[in-house]
Amino acid sequence: MDKPLLYFVAKILATIVSVVRYYSNSDTTMAIIAMLSLACIFVLEILLVRVFQNKYRYPLYKNYESKAVLITLGISIAACFLLDIDNFLLLLFILMIHGIDLFTQKNMFYQVLSVAMILSFFIFLPNLETLILTMVLGGMLLLGREIINRKNTYEALAEKHNETILELEKKIENLMSLTKTIKQTVSLEERNRIAARIHDQIGHGISGSIIMLEAALLVMKKDPNRGVESIQKAIQNLREAVDDIRSALREERTENYMIGLNDIKATLEEFKVSFNKYTELRVSGNLDYITLDMWRCIHDNLNECLTNVLKHSNATKFTLVIEVFNKIIKVEYLDNGSSSRPFTKGLGLEAIEERTVHNKGRCFFHQGDNGFRVTNIFTY
């Protein structure tokens, strides 16, 4: 249902009511001719509207719809006066509402309509029956018009939101692509920096030591003391080079907890972006006590818990808590979901328990009103 169809139905109803009232005072032939004539005008109007609406993509037809409706409205009003305005006053009021809606701004519609209706009532002085019919049919018409306006507004708003969502999705894809590019660039720059450091510092020392050893071989037979001195210098240079290698590796090496923690942060961020669920990571204590095997276990258990959130829970928030105490390491996986099913350990939870036990830890599960909780306890 749209406005042209709504006004078409209202005009047909007004015509039928007017003709029935007119038929009581006139012959049947005149009533049928009047009804068919007006019906033909209204059918022609809605057909023209539909044709021009389908041709809006051509600039030539852009304003033809309003012109066609204006012509048919003029013909319909003239027909009302020719047939007897007293009997077709109801139809005249409906035509007036249509014209005001078509050629008046939206925010001025009710003001203009109120003034026009008051003036029309004073000019034509309708009887009580016509006044009641006008109020009933006009009220239904205005109610339908308001519903259609709201529907069109909501559809336009929904379309705008869909366009915004598409733009945001494209931006997310571009940001993810940019993130991958930045990671690759940073990795390449880091590799180049390490290669340059090895070449500039360590490579020169080893190359100098090789030259000294070759020189020592040449002078060993003629001057053994000088050859021994060159060998000792080469040994000293090699020791310094080895020390530089160790120092470089020590400086470049990433701490175990940084590797594990960054993997967990990346997993939580990816889950948050992909599934629109809030994630939180809380860490306390000295993370150096967590071994690589423990980090791997925590990461695998995290993936399993996130999968369970998507499968079996309507949770909107997921929290990972890692706490390091004096003798134990406590890891908790929390979500705020609720489930009416009784708690049973499936393959996923059994896998979590097996991984935890394999790393000399213990695993506990708890399902309550505040959500589901998985607790891992490790000792060191």
Query: What span, in angstroms and rounded, lies between the C-alpha atoms of 280 and 261?
Result: 13
CB neighbour burial string for 34-64, b if at least 16 within 10 angstroms, e if fewer: bbeebbebbeebbebbeebeeeeeeeeeeeb
92: part of which helix (H) or strand (E)? helix 89-103
Domain 256-379 architecture: 2-Layer Sandwich (3.30)
CB neighbour burial string for 285-312, b if at least 16 within 10 angstroms, e if fewer: eebebbbeebbebbbebbebbbebbeee
In a 10 Å sphere around its CB, with 0-12 CB exposed, 13-18 middle and 19+ buried, how is residue 134 labelled?
buried
Per-residue pLDDT of the chain (380 residues; tens, 9 = 90+): 788 888 889 899 988 888 887 665 556 777 778 888 888 888 888 888 877 776 555 444 456 677 778 888 888 888 888 887 878 888 888 989 888 888 888 888 888 888 888 888 888 888 888 888 888 988 898 899 899 888 988 988 999 999 999 888 888 888 877 777 887 787 777 777 777 777 666 677 777 777 777 777 777 777 778 777 878 887 887 777 777 777 776 666 666 667 788 889 889 988 888 888 899 999 999 998 998 899 999 999 999 999 988 888 888 999 999 999 989 999 999 999 877 677 788 888 999 999 999 999 999 999 888 889 999 999 98
* Of residues 150, 24, 17, the one with CA closest to residue 88: 17
pLDDT of residue 73: 87
pLDDT of residue 25: 57
Name the amino acid, one letter, at 109.
F
331: part of which helix (H) or strand (E)? strand 328-335
Query: What span, in angstroms and rounded, lies between the C-alpha atoms of 166 and 180?
Result: 21
* Sheet strands side by side (includes 317-324): 278-284, 317-324, 328-335, 371-379, 361-368
pLDDT of residue 27: 63
Query: What span, in angstroms and rounded, lies between the C-alpha atoms of 76 and 222?
Result: 128
64-84 vs 28-54: helix crossing angle, rounded to 10: 170
pLDDT of residue 306: 93
Query: What span, in angstroms and rounded, lies between the C-alpha atoms of 72 and 43?
Result: 10
Domain boundaries, the chain: 3-126, 182-252, 256-379
Name the amino acid, one letter, at 157.
L
Summarised one tens digit per residue, pLDDT across range 287-319 is 989 988 999 999 999 999 999 888 888 889 999
- Cα–Cα distances (Å) from 196 to 85, 185, 200, in that order, read 99, 16, 6
User: What are the residues whose beta carbons fall under 8 Å from the beta carbon of 350, sequence distance 6 or more?
Assistant: none
Summarised one tens digit per residue, pLDDT across range 112-168 is 888 888 888 888 888 888 888 888 988 898 899 899 888 988 988 999 999 999 888
Query: What span, in angstroms and rounded, lies between the C-alpha atoms of 335 and 319?
Result: 6
